[in-house]
Amino acid sequence: SQQGEEDPQALSIQEGENATMNCSYKTSINNLQWYRQNSGRGLVHLILIRSNEREKHSGRLRVTLDTSKKSSSLLITASRAADTASYFCATVRGTGNQFYFGTGTSLTVIP
């Protein structure tokens, strides 16, 4: 079963607006990562935030992590039509590369 839940399940916005997705997880983690998936293809890594970090930026992406609430958020600023995709959070526990993925948020950016 999945490790976490994401909300909203689907999000539709106009180009230029900001998009915020939330992820909640259940157990302690080493890090949390966000991935993007375009229509049934492979996942592309977006950003990794370690458990001792609270916020991280990469270009138009901003990720926050609150380990006390076991939650994370991904903010995409000034969205573009090319950002249309599904976004997944993934948590990593232990020392391996075993990822536990959330349920995903389907983002549609309307030109």
Residues in touch with other proteins (CB under 8 A): 1-2, 30-31, 33, 35, 40-45, 48, 50, 88, 90, 92-104
Q: What angle do CA 55, 32, 61 make, to 5 degrees?
A: 45
- What minimum distance in Å lies between the beta carbon of 35 and other proteins? 8
Identify which of residues 13 and 93 has a Cβ nearer to other proteins in the complex.
93
- What minimum distance in Å lies between the beta carbon of 16 and other proteins? 29
Identify which of residues 37 and 71 has a Cβ nearer to other proteins in the complex.
37
Identify which of residues 19 and 101 has a Cβ nearer to other proteins in the complex.
101
Count helices and strands (H / E) in the chain.
Answer: 0, 11
Coil, strand or helix: which one is 8?
coil
CA atoms within 13 A on the CB side of 83: 27
